[in-house]
Structure 1
């Protein structure tokens, strides 16, 4: 039996990388999935690849009007949500001493503010007993050069899960953080100015991971499936790391 039969789900940042892998796996497990992202061509491609039981809604989770349109679409088409995966985020590495206000604001606006208002706007549609999955990072509790702002936003996301678990206990809505380690997605390429630079970043991460390699998006999707399904019915306020042991040993 599919583990998400009849579940209506939302995956932000669902057009590529981890978000796409999660959306694809959820559909395979019987869910109907709404995906959102800023770039229409990538959304169209993702929708075509998933193939069924998916609606793509273009928008930016940092823009209130776009969030409003997203949830109006969900309400009109399905009238409910069982699972929300707040996955939209960015990494803009800058060394301490060189951090610009623009980079700080852009990173916090998407990773911290966007996550909060995505989840808050979803609440009226969320069914009691639903699951909210906040995609964090092991950077929330480890130190990495250049990751001051990114790590701080992911620490905020981890804190959200703890607070919201208490605040939503009467509705039985489970809020958990899913924290990947280094995962081989296009976001890695955005952290370097050349293919050689991106390959060097990948090699450095792989050498720091006990399993000796970077993770794959589908491995994070498998963990998200666990948190979305009834198999995690007694998991709330927790942080599930998918990091090859990098932050664990």
Structure 2
């Protein structure tokens, strides 16, 4: 029996990386998946790749108007949502001296404002027994140079896990988070580093810190998210699952 048979899932930022890998896994487990992305071309291409059990909506998670209209668009497609995976976000890094208001606002708009208003928008479509999964990060557990704003955003999302879980317990809606470590995605391409700098950062700084000695795969994170979305985790509520190769556990 497939774990997500006849479930409807919404994945924000589902056109690449962990979001796309999760969409693939959800569909393999029987779900219909609605993905969001900022660009029509990318959304259309991803939906085509995912197949007939995928639908797409163009929405910018940093734009409050898009977030407030998201529920109407989702409702017109499927009516209700059983699984909400709030995945939209990306990393941009700057030292204390380099941080400016644009950098600060950009990250907080997408990851903090985007998370809270996505959940608020979709909640009316969610029934008892639904599951919400947020994205945290191991940067909340370590002092990563250049990640002041990014870490602060993820720290805010981490706090949402417990407060949302507390508020939604009476509706039997479970709220949890996945906390990825270094994963093979296009994440570092958006940091401003060139390819050589990314390779050096990963090989010389990140990998030596991972007890399992390698970078994780997006599919490995997706499996953890599917667990949190399914009845396999029916008694898991208000917590994080670390998928980090042990990076912050020892």
User: What band does the TM-score fall into relative to the shorter chain?
Assistant: over 0.9
Matched, 1:244 2:239: no
Q: Which residue of 1 aligns with 2:208?
A: 207
The answer on whether the counterparts of 1:19 and 1:87 sit within 8 Å (CA) in structure 2 is yes
Shift of 1:99: 1.0
CA RMSD, aligned part only?
A: 1.1
Shift of 1:91: 0.9
Shift of 1:219: 0.4
Shift of 1:61: 1.6
Whole-angstrom CA distance in 2 between matches of 1:133 and 1:57: 19
Moved runs in structure 1, 4+ residues, more than 3 A?
A: none
Whole-angstrom CA distance in 2 between matches of 1:167 and 1:75: 23
> Could you say what secondary structure the match of 2:183 adopts?
coil
The answer on whether the counterparts of 2:70 and 2:121 sit within 8 Å (CA) in structure 1 is no
Q: Which residue of 2 aligns with 1:16?
A: 16
Matched, 1:70 2:65: no
- The change in CA–CA distance for 1:165 and 1:58 in structure 2 (over 3 A counts) is same
The answer on whether the counterparts of 2:92 and 2:192 sit within 8 Å (CA) in structure 1 is no
| Cα offsets for 1:64-114 (capped at 9, x unmatched) | 332233321221221111000000112110012221111011111111110
Matched, 1:227 2:228: yes
Shift of 1:233: 0.4
Whole-angstrom CA distance in 2 between matches of 1:171 and 1:92: 36
> Could you say what secondary structure the match of 2:235 adopts?
coil
Q: Which residue of 2 aligns with 1:115?
A: 115
Q: Which residue of 1 aligns with 2:183?
A: 183
Whole-angstrom CA distance in 1 between matches of 2:10 and 2:73: 11
Q: Which residue of 1 aligns with 2:138?
A: 138
The answer on whether the counterparts of 2:25 and 2:222 sit within 8 Å (CA) in structure 1 is yes
Which moved further from structure 2: 165-174 or 186-195?
186-195
| Cα offsets for 1:16-52 (capped at 9, x unmatched) | 0010001111011000110001122222221111112
Q: How many residues align?
A: 249
Whole-angstrom CA distance in 2 between matches of 1:43 and 1:104: 27
Matched, 1:58 2:58: yes
| TM-score (ref. length: structure 2) | 0.97
The answer on whether the counterparts of 1:43 and 1:58 sit within 8 Å (CA) in structure 2 is yes
Whole-angstrom CA distance in 2 between matches of 1:75 and 1:38: 19
